[in-house]
Amino acid sequence: MFHIEKTEYQLGAYINGLDLTKSVSDEDFNNLYKALSENEVLFFRDQNISHADHRRIASAFGSMQTHPAYPTIEGYPEITVLENDEDNPSKIEEWHTDMTFKKNPPLGSILIGKIIPETGGDTLFSSLSKAYDDLSQDWKMKLENMNAIHSFEFGFKESLAEEGGRERLAQALKENPPVSHPIIKKHPVTGRKIIYVNKLFTSHIEGDDESGSILKFLFEHIHQDKYQCRFSWENNSIAFWDNRSVLHKPVNDYWPQLRRMERITIES
């Protein structure tokens, strides 16, 4: 049986006393899933897991996705490699929820730090359920039946603008046309309502004015410090976040140091 230690923030918890290199019992799995839904992001330290361990853990929670825009591990196509340094800086600077450009976005992601810079490289998480709770009743009613458009093309516009970018990502563009999602969603486990927009993939709100004032208001609201949690990485640390209820954002302040992360994204 593991121990749950909540962070000092409005979201997030550390999982202590669980060795992920070993099989997880049904009881621990059920408690982990409950803890993920309730705390929205879980953190683990000193987990020297193999690629096979990573896949085994993720597959217990659901089918695994591949990502159309990132390299993967040979023999493990579900493990996405996120490796950046001065010569290959990250293009992701915005708050986002993973892959909302899909009709059925993922349940969550399990990210492990393989090479961590001596300084910098933290990840920020923000609770979309806490942000919803703080909306006025008028805003809650206004947003209840509104939809927003999420787009792969919008989210990867920098990559597409590179030389050969449209050719390299042509299949991904074809397979991921823009999709519409309700702005207000209900979490399938907790029943909590969340604000389902993000600055990386949400291009616009249907029915918004020309200036996009509703979307601008929502971005300002959900990015407030009071909803956030900051995680400082160490080698073999893991973050497992609930993609149905949180935003996240890398802090790209570690150049010219190398940062290598490996991630599996789990289908909902």
pLDDT in the model for residue 172: 84
**Which residues are CB-neighbours of 66 under 8 A, at least 6 positions away?**
72, 77, 78, 80
pLDDT in the model for residue 201: 96
pLDDT in the model for residue 170: 87
pLDDT in the model for residue 109: 96
Active site residues: 96, 98, 248, 263
**Which residues are CB-neighbours of 198 under 8 A, at least 6 positions away?**
94, 95, 96, 97, 100, 150, 247
Domain 3-266 in CATH 3.60.130.10? The answer is yes
Q: From 187, 146, 179, 252, select the one nearest 40 (Cα to Cα).
A: 187
**256 and 120 Cβ atoms separated by less than 8 Å:** no
User: pTM of the entire structure?
Assistant: 0.92
Helix/strand/coil for 7: coil
Give the chain's residues under pLDDT 70: 68-69
Calpha distance 1→164 (Å, rounded)? 51
Helix/strand/coil for 3: strand
pLDDT in the model for residue 227: 98
pLDDT in the model for residue 93: 77
pLDDT in the model for residue 169: 85
